[in-house]
Structure 1
Amino acid sequence: MLLGLGCGYVAIMNNHVVGTMCMTFFGEVATIGVLIVDEKLRGQGLGGQLMKLALEKAGKRECRLIASSDGKPLYRKLGFDQLEAVLIHRGIVAHVEAPDGAEWAIRDDFDQISEIDRSATGIDRRALISTLWNKGGFAVIRYAGKVVGYAGMLPYGGGEVAGPVVACSTDEARRLLSFLFSHRIGALIRVDLRQQSGLADWLNSIGIAEVSTRTAMRRGKAHSDTEAPFRTYVLATSQFGFP
Structure 2
Amino acid sequence: MLKTRDMRSAALAAGALALTLPAAADYHSKRGYDGYGGRGHGEGIVLHADADFSGESIRLNGAEPDLSRFRFNDRVSSISLRSGAWEVCTDANFRGRCEVIDGNVARLNEYRLNDNISSVRPVSRRGDWRGHPGDREDWQGGRGARGGLVLFADSELRGPSIEIGEDVSDLNAYRFNDKASSFLVTRGTWQVCEHANYRGRCEIISGGEGDLKPIRMNDNISSVRRFHGRW
Q: Same fold (TM over 0.5)?
A: no
Higher helix share: 1
The structure whose Rg is larger is 2
Higher relative contact order (CA 8 A, sep 6+): 1
What TM-score, normalized by structure 1, do the two folds share?
0.27
